[in-house]
Chains A and B, each alone.
Chain A
Amino acid sequence: MIVGVDAGGTNVDAAVVGEDGVQETAKLPAEDVSATVLRDLFREISDGYTVDRVVVSTTRVLNRIVQDRLPSCSSVLVPGVGLAVEHAFAADDNQVVRGCIDHRGRVTESPVVDAEPRHPVVAVTAKFSPRNPSVEEEVAEELEADVVALGHEAGGRLDFPGRAATTAANARSKPAFQEFREAVASATEDLSFNAPVYVLRGDGSMVGEGKASDAPASTTRSGPASSSVGLLALSGERDAVCVDVGGTTTDVTPAVDGYPLTREGYEHDGFSTFYEGVSSGDLPLGGDTRVTEDGLARRREDYAAAFGGEAPAFTDALNVLGAGVGDTDASETAFADAGLSEADAETVVEEYVAELSDAVESAVEEAEGSPEVAVFGGALAGCLSSRLEEEVDLDVVVPEHADVCGAVGCAAAKVSVRTEVHVDSPRGRMTVSSVGSRSKSVEKGRRYSGEELHDVVVEETVEETKAAGGDAGVEDVEVLDVRRFNVVEDGKVEGEIADAVARVKPGIRWL
């Protein structure tokens, strides 16, 4: 069995899922997901099942970003030669270290580490580090820091400014992610799960917790990723708009051909990454959104009165109209105490549905018109689906277990890593980059046929997938690009440089 856990900003959901579908589900209100909360949740759902794997999705990093609670970071850069290093300044303390790696990964100027980072959280990024990780490692060893993120661990893409920003984002995310990782580890150990733990990334794929710890900023869009993957798995729809109403936000994500659409990059107030994430439109409205006499206040203060809060919120408005969610009496009292009427409740629900239908229509447009269905999830989906259906030109479905779609999404995720192989045979080196980069030796001067290179990248992709906790076979690998050229020195061919890119096609279990 797979245990999926979706730790959102206000609730934590869990599901036990096997080949026969969803077996158990649970939902607990929790703003801070501690080991105790997780232990209670695991205990509630896993009794009697053999747990093969735990897959978690957390918005902890995202919440800290939005609340401006991430630590500051010193970014130590080894820019070598090229454009002005200021293009890669991504932290409030940026320090430059001399040293240079060239495009073939050769150290053409040795690093001279004279940086003194102002913060205990440090990012180290060198230009061309995916072609040679050693300089970043060497620099990091000479720095005093509590937390270090390295550029080549951010991913293999050639983009020094983007990598510097992403590495700083990883460094700043590490402490919050580590807390969450420890809470999960403690809970699973207490219950003797003895099962590997995976983490959902913002693109809807999962990765082993160790790899995720190197690049925790890749989890920033895992909220909409888990819910959209879950809604597709639960509904069996392949082209759809996935809608998840949470406590604080509503995520609207288009999906085409069995997978959510993704886009590159995330940015919020100086925190920026180049990671792929699902392409969701996030409405700042959810069940806990405060309702005042002016309508929806577009902010969350507390739980809705129906779930223990004091002041009226959107869920309470639905209850006033007869939805029957949680403690309906508390909703009615809170509404009355605030001087709000049933007509006010109707107004805010109409306001919400109007905004949601605009977002759904934008998602259909983004998916170039292919979705004919909206799959609706979250605890309030059942109360809102018929209203949404009246406003949009789509069928609206609420699949069974839609209230815990994020947890199901975690259980349904697969490992999918894009792997880039760079061979420099005159140097006898190969670098393999996916989640992080590693180097290995190859026969000096070796020249590859197209077929051999194809086989190399497939083999390395399978290897990287395994290292990330997956179990892909050769047949699951899709080769995206292969190119190579001779290296000529003194009029002789001394070998070749080859680049190949492949991936395990992203996908959803049971779809």
Chain B
Amino acid sequence: MTLEIVYHDDYLLHEHSPTHPERRERLMYTMDQMQEEGVFDLDMVELVEPEAASEEALARVHTPDYLDRLKEMSMRGGGSLSGDTHVSEHTWHQSRLAAGGVVRGCRDVVEDSCESSFVMARPGGHHAFADRGHGFCFTNNTAVAVREIQESYDEVDRVLVWDWDAHHFDGTQEIFYSDPSVLTMSVHQTGRTLFPGTGYVDEVGEDEGEGFNVNVPVLPKTGDSGYLRVVEEVFEPVAREYDPDLVFVEAGQDCHFTDPITDLGVTADGYRRMMERAVDLAEDVSGGDLVASLCGGYGIEGGLPYTNLAVVASMAGLDTSNIREPAVYQPPQRQPDVDDVVAKVKSTHDEYWNL
């Protein structure tokens, strides 16, 4: 199994502010871990450097006004899109490079130069709308890549976007809300307790896209078993019925129990199991075509190095039995079940899917 890891040193340039959770060391600690593990020396792993996405590719998703504003603000040396989303001199370049990384990963998978791809980019993109950004996101990297791939390859009609970031993917949802060619599914900490406050079960898509947006908001502290149940009872049956040509995972690693800005209970082993399910699903529905892109994840020391390694090792088909957090980190003992939300999703989506 060959896995491509897409990474660029310039992903370390952009900073919101010195104490902001979305900092460059999110990637640096992970790179240290991967280097020490010898991941990049493995025969089945290839490290590649992306190019920036073209302005044409960005313009398929974002409005000209927004792109001009973002570019100008960055060129000017900085500004803010919202209280916690700061633009720096590097933001324009780095956002294009992040989108370009996701495009690269998707292209290489579709063209079979690798079997799967993990894009380790920042900033993330799933809170970016067509005409605005917030939630640490500027360009919707996933949407840019999906549109580019659908435009470039006749064989890719339907794409599944499976977002397991702790935060609801409000930007991605809105961009594809009326589009049945992209099935968007998110499991996230309920918007009642976490930014951005959206992502309820009854947000199912509209017009032709009605039924093609699936939200599963879970309670704080939900852990591995709850997440796995959502995968088994909701995502897998819907995905199999949809039968996509490409499986795309928005791999937010902020469901980890050490994450400082969320309140969930997933472990590195939970991430490993979720990614194994995604790999199996892709084998069944899309001929193995699978792209994952790092989204959130702010448990910089106790979470990201281990969750990212778990995800990468699962995608590469490596032995994952020793991947866990060091014993100094312990997950919460009591975790809520997901009975209520799974039941609600099933009844809401009953008219669209065989659940």
Residue ranges of A at the interface with B (Cβ–Cβ < 8 Å) = 79-88, 100, 102-104, 108-109, 127-128, 158-162, 483, 485-488, 491-493, 497
Contacts and interface: CB of A to CB of B under 8 A. Distances in A.
Interface string B285-317: 000000000000000010001100100010000
B35 interface: yes
Contact of A486 (B23, B41, B301, B328): B23
Contacts of B28: 483, 485, 497
A82 B301 contact: no
A79 B320 CA distance: 13
A161 B38 CA distance: 6
A79 B23 contact: no
A81 B306 contact: yes
B32 interface: yes
A162 B37 contact: no
A399 B287 CA distance: 63
A427 to B, nearest CB: 12
B326 A108 contact: yes
A79 B38 contact: no
A156 to B, nearest CB: 11
A83 B322 contact: yes
A84 B37 CA distance: 9
Given A83-B309, A86-B319, A160 B38 contact: yes
B18 A493 contact: yes
B19 A85 contact: no
A371 to B, nearest CB: 30
20 contacts: A79-B322, A81-B323, A81-B324, A81-B325, A82-B309, A83-B313, A87-B42, A100-B327, A102-B301, A102-B326, A103-B29, A103-B32, A128-B36, A158-B35, A161-B38, A483-B12, A485-B23, A485-B24, A485-B25, A493-B19
A463 to B, nearest CB: 24
B298 to A, nearest CB: 10
B23 A488 contact: yes
B321 interface: yes
Contact of B35 (A81, A159, A492): A159
Using C-beta atoms within 8 Å of the partner chain, give the interface range for chain B: 20 to 34
Contacts of A104: 301
B29 A82 contact: no
Nearest to B32: A103
A103 B305 contact: yes
B19 A158 contact: no
A160 B37 contact: yes
A87 B313 CA distance: 13
Nearest to B28: A485
B319 A491 contact: no
A453 to B, nearest CB: 15
B326 A159 contact: no
Contacts of A79: 322
A501 to B, nearest CB: 13
A487 B36 CA distance: 21
B39 interface: yes
B22 to A, nearest CB: 11
Contact of A162 (B19, B33, B38, B301): B38
A127 B19 contact: no
Nearest to A83: B37
Contact of B326 (A81, A85, A86, A161): A81
A493 B36 CA distance: 26
Nearest to A104: B301
B318 interface: yes
Given A81-B324, A108-B327, 13 more contacts: A81-B306, A81-B322, A83-B38, A83-B39, A88-B38, A100-B327, A104-B301, A127-B36, A158-B32, A161-B41, A485-B25, A486-B25, A497-B25
Contacts of A161: 37-38, 41
A390 to B, nearest CB: 43
Contacts of A85: 322
B325 A158 contact: no
Given A83-B37, A127-B36, A109 B322 contact: no
Interface string B9-33: 0001000001100011100110011
Instruction: Give the one of A88, A483, A487, A488 with max B CB within 10 A.
Output: A488
